């Protein structure tokens, strides 16, 4: 694999890396607080039934699809991060840099979360297998739970977290700022 000619830190500037690190910190901090304060599958209404905090664990992929695939999900996320880093490095002029920063912060947040067993009410430990099923959990911590019109795909929108929000915000920014005609020329 050939590395891009552009210097790494001219694309991934220290300020951008600090933003990614802050997003990662915020994501992991909120997940930790939720793990400490809530029990598994607990829901706390915040705005009635419209918005509540609900501790769930996603052992699958996007939107909770293909549950009980924690290890394939870990590898897929790791591969996606490596791909995104090299793609961004190779195409440094493509899309708004803040869109890329949001996506990277979210991707790293969920990737790191997959390396820990969560123990609601207590904390977490490094590992991939719960020693006490039903008390310890693997997967990404999701807790932001919004109601969704029943006639659409889900009865409730799948619970998500700060990292998921970062990825979504980043993708929207990129969709609006990428020059799609320029991409076709490459």
pLDDT digits (tens, 9 = 90+) for 116-143: 999 999 999 999 889 998 899 988 999 9
Query: What does the pLDDT profile of the chain (186 residues) look like in tens digits?
Result: 677 888 989 999 999 999 999 999 999 999 999 999 999 989 999 999 899 999 999 887 665 555 566 677 788 889 999 999 999 999 888 889 999 999 999 999 999 999 999 999 999 999 988 999 889 998 899 999 998 777 667 678 888 999 999 999 999 999 999 876 555 555
Predicted local confidence at residue 32, as pLDDT? 97
Question: Considering the domain boundaries, does residue 70 fall inside one?
Answer: yes
What is the spatial distance between Cα 50 and Cα 53, in angstroms, rounded to a whole number?
Answer: 10
**Distances in whole angstroms, Cα of residue 104 to Cα of each of 18, 23, 84, 100, 171:** 11, 9, 8, 6, 10
Instruction: Considering the candidates 49, 164, 179, 184, report the single residue annotated as catalytic.
Output: 164
Question: Considering the domain boundaries, does residue 81 fall inside one?
Answer: yes
Catalytic residue status for 179 = no
Question: Considering the domain boundaries, does residue 184 fall inside one?
Answer: no
Catalytic residue status for 142 = yes
Question: Considering the domain boundaries, does residue 6 fall inside one?
Answer: no
Structure tokens at 20: 């990614």
Instruction: Considering the candidates 27, 113, 142, 145, report the single residue annotated as catalytic.
Output: 142
Question: Considering the domain boundaries, does residue 84 fall inside one?
Answer: yes
Sign of CA dihedral 79, 58, 172, 31: negative
Parallel/antiparallel/unpaired status of strands 123-126 and 116-119? antiparallel
pLDDT digits (tens, 9 = 90+) for 170-186: 999 999 998 765 555 55
Predicted local confidence at residue 22, as pLDDT? 98
Question: Considering the domain boundaries, does residue 4 fall inside one?
Answer: no
Question: Considering the domain boundaries, does residue 1 fall inside one?
Answer: no
Confidence (pTM): 0.88
Sign of CA dihedral 135, 138, 140, 146: negative
Question: Considering the domain boundaries, does residue 153 fall inside one?
Answer: yes
Number of structural domains found in the chain: 1
Q: Which residue has the tokens 């990825």?
A: 167
List of residues 6+ apart from 106 with CB closer than 8 A: 23, 27, 162, 163, 164, 165, 166, 167, 168, 170
Domain that holds residue 140: 11-179
């Amino acid at each position: 694999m050939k590395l891009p000619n552009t210097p790494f830190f001219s694309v991934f500037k220290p300020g951008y890396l600090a933003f990614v690190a802050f997003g990662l910190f915020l994501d992991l901090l909120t997940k930790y607080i939720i793990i400490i304060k809530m029990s598994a599958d607990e829901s706390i209404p915040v705005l009635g039934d419209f918005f509540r905090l609900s501790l769930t664990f996603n052992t699958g992929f996007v939107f909770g699809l293909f549950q009980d695939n924690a290890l394939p999900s870990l590898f897929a996320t790791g591969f996606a991060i490596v791909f995104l880093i090299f793609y961004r490095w190779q195409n440094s002029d493509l899309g708004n840099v803040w869109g890329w920063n949001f996506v990277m912060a979210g991707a790293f947040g969920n990737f790191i979360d997959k390396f820990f067993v969560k123990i609601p009410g207590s904390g977490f430990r490094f590992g991939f297998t719960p020693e006490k099923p039903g008390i310890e959990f693997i997967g990404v911590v999701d807790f932001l739970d919004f109601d969704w019109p029943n006639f659409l795909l889900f009865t409730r929108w799948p619970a998500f977290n700060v990292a998921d929000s970062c990825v979504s915000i980043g993708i929207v920014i990129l969709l609006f700022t990428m020059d799609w005609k320029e991409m076709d020329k490459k």
